[in-house]
Amino acid sequence: MELTKQEKAMLDGKEGYAVKKSMEILVALGDIFGAEKLIDVGSVQVAGVSYHNLGDAGLDFLNSLAEDGRVKVLTTLNPAGMDLENWQQLGISPEFAEKQNLVIDAFTRMGILVSCTCTPYLIGNVPLYGEHIAWSESSAVTFANSVLGARTNREGGPSALAAAFVGKTPCYGLHLDENRVPDINVQVNAELSRLSDWGALGYAIGKKAENKIPYISGIKKATLDELKSFGASLVTYGAKPLFYIKDITPGAELQQQPKETVTIEKTDLDDAYNKINDQVDEIDFVCVGCPHCSIKEVAEIADLIRGKKVATGTELWVATSRTTKQLADKHGYTAIIEAAGGKFACDTCMAVAPLKGRFKALATTSAKGCFYSRQNLMKTKMGSMKECVDAAVTGKWNN
């Protein structure tokens, strides 16, 4: 990889330890993947925030970088392992909270915004069409590439941090036109009538387009919330973090429809529901917001649960960013949901909180949420927002 004089100086340690380490990471990745140069990035999203995943070693590493590392571009943070303010109410231990706060302190010293959300594009980190960025968090990467038309590879925590300290990333993979060409045509013949159908669609296409970029036809309309849920599921279940939907996502009009074609019928969605859903009736955990709820989704939940009560022995979590919750506070949605016994889980989510063994059965709108909750030994049910709120109120899944 060709380095400029300034980049060589950074690699030699002229800007300190964090920048040197970062350059070592970026140069190695560039060489591995055949990049010819580094390119400027407009923003960074850093994953690997939950102490549950980092452990003391990760914390040590972050502290060593925080000594002299300061980010050069707008940098936002993925969810942590707990709500940073309301962790006690969510059953997080004080020992865990103490460690998690040390992780957050390290990121704060680096100059990273403690946004703690997987939907940075909903709270002010919104890349432009064609802009190069270095994001981790697969659902956000997929949304940025596909819905916004920005350009990023699927970074890990350390490589995203490295890009933030240098302000650059190696130019390979999805930064280049030739690697953004769709390679499988997906004709969708199934009706999509509720939010979870988009998660099921992501599962079905993810399995048929493993490690490919799908070009999707047959979808007439979509909302931001639907595309957010679809992308999260698509990449969790196997596709590359980029999709095109004809007449809906930007850049689709510039691409040729690939020859290899698969179809998605109603039976494929049914099959996805069957694979994701377990046999279970009693629900002790309802969690919506994977990816984090938009304000529109929070409003929907408030509307559905107004005047009702969450069943004894069942918990309802609304996972969202703190910024979105502040809007919800203003509009009274928070009061309605909390009066019904629901809880807000800001700054965190079901994929990264230490939930192993806490709950037996999850109901959610999210296909991605089901995937990660299995690692936490939960049975899973996926359905519409209404089905999930009903499950919270009755403690049961009504088929």
Footprint on this chain of another protein (rule: CB under 8 A)? 21, 24-25, 28-29, 31-32, 47-48, 53-58, 60-61, 136, 156-159
CA distance 21 to 176: 25
Lookup result for tokens 């199934």: 190
CA distance 75 to 47: 11
156 or 341, CB closer to another protein? 156
CA distance 126 to 42: 10
- Minimum gap (Å) between residue 213 Cβ and another protein: 19
28 or 339, CB closer to another protein? 28
- Minimum gap (Å) between residue 157 Cβ and another protein: 6
- As beta bridge partners, residue 361 has 379
Lookup result for tokens 């929907």: 300
- Minimum gap (Å) between residue 169 Cβ and another protein: 12
- Minimum gap (Å) between residue 358 Cβ and another protein: 20
- Minimum gap (Å) between residue 24 Cβ and another protein: 5
Helix (H) or strand (E) holding 60: helix 51-66
CA distance 9 to 11: 5
Separation in Å, CA 376 to CA 80, 91, 249, 361: 16, 15, 34, 10
Question: Please, are residues 289 and 345 in contact by the beta-carbon 8 Å criterion?
Answer: yes
109 or 331, CB closer to another protein? 109
CA distance 133 to 76: 12
Lookup result for tokens 């429809």: 257
154 or 325, CB closer to another protein? 154
32 or 128, CB closer to another protein? 32
Longest CA–CA span in the chain (Å) reads 65
- Minimum gap (Å) between residue 32 Cβ and another protein: 6
- Minimum gap (Å) between residue 119 Cβ and another protein: 20
Q: Cβ of 128: how many Cβ atoms within 10 Å? A: 10
CA distance 10 to 107: 21
219 or 355, CB closer to another protein? 355
DSSP 3-state of 246: coil
Parallel, antiparallel, or unpaired for β 285-293 and 361-364? parallel
Question: Please, are residues 242 and 142 in contact by the beta-carbon 8 Å criterion?
Answer: yes
Lookup result for tokens 């192993």: 356
- Minimum gap (Å) between residue 346 Cβ and another protein: 23
21 or 246, CB closer to another protein? 21
56 or 270, CB closer to another protein? 56
- Minimum gap (Å) between residue 15 Cβ and another protein: 17
- Give the DSSP letter string of 138-153: HHHHHHIIIII--B--
53 or 179, CB closer to another protein? 53
